[in-house]
Structure 1
Amino acid sequence: MTFDAAAWLPDDLIERIRGRAAQVDHDNVFPQEDLDELAAAGYLSILVPSELGGGGLGLAEASLLQQRLATAAPATALAINMHLVWTGVAKVLADRGIDDLRFVQEGAVRGEVFAFGISEAGNDLVLFGSDTVAEPLADGGYAFTGTKIFTSLAPVWTHLGLHGLDTTSADAPQLVYAFVPRSDAVVTRDDWDTVGMRGTQSRTTELHSAVAPADRVVRRVAPGPNPDPIVFGIFSVFEILLGSVYTGLARRALDLAVATAKTRTSKKSGTTYAQDPDIRWRIADMGLRYDALPTELASIARDVDENAPHGARWFTLLSGVKHRAVVMAKSVVDDAILVAGGSSYFTRSELGRLYRDVLAGQFHPSDPESAHATAASAWLGPLES
């Protein structure tokens, strides 16, 4: 049976979200109305099993929904992504018999919002290391001190999932994954003034001995490349949902280009641009690039859902799909702007906003250098020491 994304994100909801996107971008604010409507529709718990009160969807269905949401407001979709990453990781772990993130699933059903606090300035190890100090407490909890960047959902999150490095325990060093609640020990800077994706409000977060209780410390793993399920869970869900957002953004740019070509008339020929051979070739080329990604995302998302035995190839496949989605989206938006002409250069233009939004894709892990290094190791073997 074909999945009906419109059942979860009806046309009228999509149009309301799209109708607010320009003002959110202009005002550089968080899209609170979008979040309220999505929460009321049960969107925050789409990846939670139905027996726990959630939507019972898989990652493949969530990918389709995030593509659809991104056609309306890429920044809203990207912000919601970071919450869905944690509910997706909870699902990946639970599907493999690990119930460590049950509280995330139950919290999502109650309407709690989980943010993603992994990125740190200058830390290109990402999941394999952290500059944040994780200090063990006597009761089994941890106090985290450090600075996280690109913390989406900054004004609204209720729990921040993060990692830090424990250097003092007997088995140190250990990377500690845990969740801290909002408190006076967490300071959110009002510093999100970016070129695009402004509605994500991905502000810098300062941690000043922010405490994660013992029951919110979910994993302790050795630094460096690690086969632990939480590393795979984060990487797989993060890459697939990121690729989904940028693929949805590309679809909107393609649709806008088609609409423009059908309505824009050439003074030279007297016909619409849809009859111009050069424009037809350009839009055809955009479509050929776009068409590959929804299918690829669906395939790899199903493989995660079904625990396919890709082994060591997983990280190449996952970083690759994200990289291809971002590169495709940027090229499609570039061509859509050429089809639309100079009107897209104005800030009031939706294509102009998509052009600014799509630039963010290159900064998310895996960045182009990391994706290529992963692929090179997969095909050529590791670098010789």
Structure 2
Amino acid sequence: MTIEELLTDGMLETFRDRAAGYDAANSFCHEDLAELKDVGYLKMFVPEEWGGLGYRLEEASRAQMRLASAAPATALAVNMHLVWTGVARVLRARGDDSLDYVLREAGLGEVFGFGVSEAGNDQVLFDSRTVAAPLEGGGYSFTGTKVFTSLSPAWTRLGVFGRDDTGAEPQLVWAFIDRQEPGYSIKDDWDTLGMRASQSCTTVLAGAEAPADRVFRKLPVGPNPDPLVFGIFATFEILLASVYAGIGGRAVELAVQAAQRRMSLKTGKSYAQDPDIRWRVADAALAMDGLYPQLQVISRDVDEQADHGRFWFARLSGAKIRATETAKQVVELAVRVSGGAGYFRGSELERLYRDVLAGLYHPSDDESAHGTVATAWLGPLED
């Protein structure tokens, strides 16, 4: 199934119409998610023989751009499910079947959430403030607070990690917990500037238990070359960048529409004939034209297992930073083109302007990305 068949123009218009209502009410995108599930969107990484679409990361990136052009917050929410299924696909392609059950369960309709981010944890994937306590039989209980847990009202499986200090060396334990089991609570605290329909609420783990068969990795604290870390970083950064590329692409479309619609009293012509406006629209289009091929190539490189050696993480974090910063710049250019109407609450461009700012907060942030790139090129800092 092509991406255009999966996400039809009619679906996108419906999603775009709903987006304003979700934003105004600060409500979750229940209807969008239901329609996406119905057409198999959440199964895009699932192999065809397991009931999915068999998409690669390159196709998923383009699909998320298309969805985000209509409903950015919906795309951001769905991203978290796609990260886990994408990680499972990346591992499977490399001969690691430890998360095959994620793909099988996604094929049966399970929805996966991403309970990883923690306030103040600048180590991100390499350490955790959450306590992972071993249980008899090989399971673990998790106690800690996870922030920005997108899909909070809808996930059925939540991927979490925490730190186990009970052994000779500390280790990071990765597992899935089930929504039907006790030991966690979700705060109703998602009242944000933008991306409101994602409902990325805070999740408090209070002894949430994962049985042994749901504990899928134990890693040492600190950076390490485990394929899981690469899989999470690659799928998260590329799919996140794709969402913001979708916002930027839509902003160019809105800028063109505004320029053609607005009329100059001085010249009697549309602003599409004004040299300054034409320059701004061209500047926005040029910026986006440079972003699309980068995302296409880097996602294809993950799919085809290209060898970028020590530069992999630099290129992935660089793609995310370039996408979010470019989208922010392009939306601002579109705002300048649109005139005062774009400043009013309820306009699509006003919502995109707020939504695009969320890109500043996702990892990798600007500082860590520059640190990663500097280390790749110059080596680590000396003690």
- TM bucket (normalised to shorter chain) is over 0.9
Matches within 5 A, 1:27-106: 27-106=25-104
The CA RMSD over aligned residues, in Å, is: 0.9
Matches within 5 A, 1:251-266: 251-266=249-264
User: Hey, what does 2:173 align to over in structure 1?
Assistant: 176
Runs of 4+ displaced beyond 2 Å: none
1:157 Cα offset (Å): 0.6
1:263 Cα offset (Å): 1.2
1:4 Cα offset (Å): 3.8
Unmatched 5+ stretches in structure 2: none
Counterpart-to-counterpart distance in 2, 1:41 and 1:368: 36
1:129 aligns with 2:159: no
SS of residue in 1 equivalent to 2:125: helix
1:264 Cα offset (Å): 0.8
* TM-superposition CA deviations, 1:309-360 (whole Å, max 9, x none): 1111100000000000000000000010000011111111110000000000
SS of residue in 1 equivalent to 2:206: strand
User: Hey, what does 2:157 align to over in structure 1?
Assistant: 159
* TM-superposition CA deviations, 1:72-113 (whole Å, max 9, x none): 100000000000000000000000111111111011111111
Counterpart-to-counterpart distance in 1, 2:310 and 2:52: 32
Task: Give the partner amino acid of 1:99.
Answer: D
Choose the corresponding residue for 1:342, options 340, 343, 362.
340
Q: Scaled by the length of structure 1, what TM-score is found?
A: 0.98
Q: Is the 8 A contact 1:249 1:329 kept in 2?
A: yes
* TM-superposition CA deviations, 1:217-260 (whole Å, max 9, x none): 11111111110010000000000000000000001111000011
SS of residue in 1 equivalent to 2:285: helix
Task: Give the partner amino acid of 1:260.
Answer: A
1:184 Cα offset (Å): 2.7
Task: Give the partner amino acid of 1:21.
Answer: A
SS of residue in 2 equivalent to 1:240: helix
* TM-superposition CA deviations, 1:36-63 (whole Å, max 9, x none): 0000000111011112111101000000
Counterpart-to-counterpart distance in 2, 1:266 and 1:89: 52
User: Hey, what does 1:198 align to over in structure 2?
Assistant: 196
* TM-superposition CA deviations, 1:11-39 (whole Å, max 9, x none): 11111111100000000010100000000
Q: Is the 8 A contact 1:261 1:272 kept in 2?
A: yes
Task: Give the partner amino acid of 2:360.
Answer: Q
Counterpart-to-counterpart distance in 2, 1:17 and 1:107: 26
1:378 Cα offset (Å): 1.5
Counterpart-to-counterpart distance in 1, 2:265 and 2:133: 70
Matches within 5 A, 1:265-344: 265-344=263-342
Counterpart-to-counterpart distance in 2, 1:209 and 1:196: 32
Counterpart-to-counterpart distance in 2, 1:148 and 1:252: 32
Counterpart-to-counterpart distance in 1, 2:249 and 2:193: 21
Aligned length: 382
User: Hey, what does 1:26 align to over in structure 2?
Assistant: 24
SS of residue in 2 equivalent to 1:267: coil
1:236 aligns with 2:234: yes
SS of residue in 2 equivalent to 1:383: coil
Counterpart-to-counterpart distance in 2, 1:155 and 1:4: 29
**More deviation, 183-192/62-71:** 183-192
Q: Is the 8 A contact 1:136 1:169 kept in 2?
A: no
SS of residue in 2 equivalent to 1:160: strand
* TM-superposition CA deviations, 1:277-320 (whole Å, max 9, x none): 00111110101100111111110001001111111110000000
Percent of residue pairs identical: 60
* TM-superposition CA deviations, 1:187-228 (whole Å, max 9, x none): 000000000000000000000110111111111111111100
1:146 aligns with 2:144: yes
